[in-house]
């Protein structure tokens, strides 16, 4: 028989390993390097290291001949359990990791909230809102993409075309959906069913009885009652930063600069040629040989554009912004 002390020691070792993995998930992993200095010029400058910006910078840097700079106003997402343990993301709200926007007062809305305004959390960290949100994976509606294609006259925006990119990003782990023509299984972003309780199951059964069951809202149709899908891998949040950016940050042609707040795009003869950025308390100008790509979110991108003199003429004049 095993000595009781050996058994106790083994149990203690297992529990210790589990605790370390839970509270210090990156202890035995190499930290992805962030830039300590940045160059004066790059081929591409990506403004905003959120869900889109992280993926875009990583993809652009796959071309070894292109130099890429990713500028993120917030800190790195490395080493903080808040960005690993799914439920902890909520604790980033109204902190330095959140832009902490609020809606404007509108008739008939948010009557139960202070000043009738709702908070609008937006992540201020690598991974952006994908580092603090509820991790639900929901594609845009197919009809929206078709409308974009019609409005722009560019059919590469239609749903049939963008579907291939949705599939390319996915590593779908839901066995019964993996062979769907609408889903992917070789990409970097792991997708699973979100855990749900008995009440959710009852709601799904009610929807099924009403004829509104939907096995996959990210498939042919979005209508109906369904289980939520999320981007969680091994019980940990998998943001775009972790899925795309972290594996790419060792590349010599990619610099990721955190705590670097872009103030404006430098425009010369109607062409974006660089950005002004506040970094370590100093204002710097970084030049772009090819493109400046704004990926600062639905609020941040138009804000930067208006500070750069691009926007409604009267509003720019009222704010004394040169254009």
Mean pLDDT by 10 residues, the chain (323 residues): 56 59 58 94 99 98 99 96 93 96 95 95 98 96 97 98 97 97 97 93 93 94 94 96 98 99 97 97 98 98 97 95 87
CA-nearest of 17, 3, 22, 34 to 236 is: 22
Length of the chain: 323
Q: In what order do the strands lie in the sheet with 170-172?
A: 170-172, 189-193, 229-230
pLDDT computed for residue 12 by the predictor: 61
pLDDT computed for residue 23 by the predictor: 57
pLDDT computed for residue 26 by the predictor: 52
Domain ranges of the chain: 154-230
Tell which phi-psi region holds residue 272, choosing left (phi > 0), alpha (psi between -120 and 50) or beta.
Answer: beta
Please, which residues bridge with residue 291 across strands? 44
Cβ contact 299:123 at 8 Å: no
CA distance 86 to 88: 6
pLDDT computed for residue 98 by the predictor: 98
Residue whose structure tokens are 């997402």: 77
């Amino acid at each position: 028989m095993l000595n009781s002390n050996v058994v106790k020691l083994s149990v203690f070792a297992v529990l210790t390993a589990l605790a370390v993995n839970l509270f210090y998930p990156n202890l035995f992993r190499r930290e992805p390097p962030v830039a300590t200095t940045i160059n004066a010029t790059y081929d591409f400058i990506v403004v905003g290291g959120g869900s889109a910006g992280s993926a875009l910078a990583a993809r652009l840097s796959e071309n070894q001949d292109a130099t890429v700079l990713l500028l993120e106003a917030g800190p790195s997402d490395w080493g903080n359990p808040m960005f690993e343990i799914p439920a902890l993301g909520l604790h980033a709200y109204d902190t330095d990791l959140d832009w902490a926007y609020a809606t404007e007062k509108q008739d008939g809305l948010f009557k139960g909230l202070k000043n009738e305004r709702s908070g609008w959390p937006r992540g201020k960290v690598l991974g952006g809102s994908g580092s603090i949100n509820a991790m639900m994976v929901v594609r845009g509606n197919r009809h929206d993409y078709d409308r974009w294609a019609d409005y722009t006259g560019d059919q590469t925006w239609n749903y049939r075309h963008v579907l291939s990119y949705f599939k390319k990003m996915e590593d779908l782990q839901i066995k019964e959906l993996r062979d769907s023509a609408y889903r992917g299984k070789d990409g970097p972003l792991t997708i699973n069913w979100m855990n749900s309780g008995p009440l959710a199951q009852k709601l799904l059964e009610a929807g099924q009885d009403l004829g509104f069951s939907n096995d996959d809202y990210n498939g042919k149709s979005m209508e109906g009652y369904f289980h939520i899908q999320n981007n969680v891998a091994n019980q940990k949040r998998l943001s775009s930063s972790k899925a795309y950016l972290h594996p790419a940050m060792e590349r010599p042609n990619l610099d990721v600069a955190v705590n670097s707040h872009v103030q404006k795009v430098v425009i010369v003869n109607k062409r974006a040629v660089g950005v002004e950025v506040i970094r370590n308390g100093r204002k710097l100008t970084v030049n772009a040989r090819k493109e400046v790509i704004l990926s600062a979110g639905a609020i941040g991108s138009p804000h930067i554009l208006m500070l750069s003199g691009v926007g409604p003429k009267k509003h720019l004049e009222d704010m004394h912004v040169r254009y």
